[in-house]
Amino acid sequence: MHRKLLLSAVLLAACTALVSGPASAQLYAGKKISLIVGSPPGGGYDFYSRILSRHMPKYLPGNPTIVVQNMPGAGSMKAAEYLYAIAPKDGTVFGMVFPGALVEPLFDAKKKFRFVPTKYAFIGSIDSGVRLCVTYGTSKIKTFEDAQKMPSSFGGSGPGSSTTDYAHFLNVLAGTKIKIVNGYKGSRTTITAMEKGELDGICGLDSGSFQAMRPDWYNNSKLSHMIVQTSLTPSNELEKLGVPSIWKFVTGENRKVAELILAQQEFHRPYIAPPGTSAPHLAALRKAFDDVVRDKGLLAETAKAKLSVQPKDAATVGKLISDMYNSPPELVAKARHALRGR
């Protein structure tokens, strides 16, 4: 019996040495990692990922190169499907998708999805954020109350994207009269359409991305109007600037519905790997992520770009998503109606 225990201990020590020893140190040596971003170049998700790609390699064993590849389409659904079913599981591919893509199957029971969100190998989220509804300076919609009283047109990428979903649920839960014009490839192209007079505004726009893309618009009523902020907890900074919280306009039973929808902002910038990604590679990616979000170089770059960094680790993101999918069916049904009208 003692000999068996001793043999087991020796085998365990040998396995540990293989994982943590010289072989582990070269896990990614000479390799290239593809970082798939489910949005076009130039937006907030792209900004974060390009900064991450410059600083994360030094925390990975073997110091691989990380190359960003944009894969926009259907509110990050294209990237989500690729990461779920096609991407290799050897740790050479991971990605960043809209949080809306991860919760879309919860809110759309009729559509068939080619991925199961709870099965992804979560790496973490680099930020939890506040989203805004913003109108152009010349728009007749200058306050949220204006959007409740007058018809307006707001741009969106499509169902599953925050720019579409948030405008839709504000129509249902807060009585706005927004006409949603879908088909814009990203927030940057939507903002350009606002400048051309094609649209009044945009909803579901991350406040940090807004500052990064249009720093001259931020808190400048001649160029834009920040008519409402949406998050579980209002931003003190935005409140000081006079931007009202959604909770001024969504109350009672509707608040519980909105809270379920807004829970996705707690994992606002999620990084995921394919289900079944090899354990050593996944462990390395998770550790590197936890290290890089505290990296001075990354924090300096994000601060310069006015991008917030409020990270959550893999376990936290996984639990948040699991909790959403375990929500009471009647609450999910109400949220589904708010987002899809059915």
- Report the CATH number at residue 135: 3.40.190.10
pLDDT band of residue 213 (cuts 50, 70, 90) is confident
Tally of domains within the chain: 2
Same domain, residue pair 44 and 99: yes
Task: Return the pLDDT at 78.
Answer: 96
Paired residues of 272 in beta bridges: 95, 122
Q: Is the pLDDT of residue 17 over 60?
A: no
Q: Which of 263, 295, 321 is the last residue of a domain?
A: 263
Q: Which of 263, 298, 327 is the last residue of a domain?
A: 263
| Mean pLDDT, residues 199-218 taken together | 92
Same domain, residue pair 239 and 305: no
Q: In what order do the strands lie in the sheet with 121-125?
A: 65-70, 32-37, 93-96, 270-273, 121-125, 312-313
Same domain, residue pair 69 and 88: yes
Same domain, residue pair 52 and 139: no
228 by DSSP, 3-state: which? Answer: strand
Same domain, residue pair 120 and 149: no
pLDDT band of residue 342 (cuts 50, 70, 90) is low
Q: Is the pLDDT of residue 6 over 60?
A: no
Same domain, residue pair 50 and 139: no
Identify whether the C-beta of residue 80 lies closer than 8 Å to the C-beta of residue 114: no
pLDDT band of residue 33 (cuts 50, 70, 90) is very high
pLDDT digits (tens, 9 = 90+) for 129-186: 899 999 999 999 999 999 999 999 999 988 878 899 999 999 999 999 999 999 998 8
Question: Which pair of tokens denotes residue 20?
Answer: 């943590």
- 72-76, 179-183, 298-302, 318-322: range with lowest mean pLDDT: 72-76
Same domain, residue pair 140 and 99: no
* Residue 20 placed within a domain: no
Same domain, residue pair 136 and 241: yes
Please give the residue range of the domain that contains residue 236: 131-263
Same domain, residue pair 59 and 182: no
Name 16's Cβ contacts closer than 8 Å, sequence gap at least 6.
none
Q: Secondary structure of the chain: what % helix, strand, coil (to 5)?
A: 50, 15, 35
* Residue 205 placed within a domain: yes
pLDDT digits (tens, 9 = 90+) for 220-260: 999 999 999 999 999 999 999 999 999 999 999 999 999 99
Q: Which of 263, 294, 328 is the last residue of a domain?
A: 263
Q: Is the pLDDT of residue 210 over 50?
A: yes
Q: What is the pTM of this model?
A: 0.79
Q: Which helix (H) or strand (E) is 52 found in, with range?
A: helix 44-55
Same domain, residue pair 135 and 259: yes
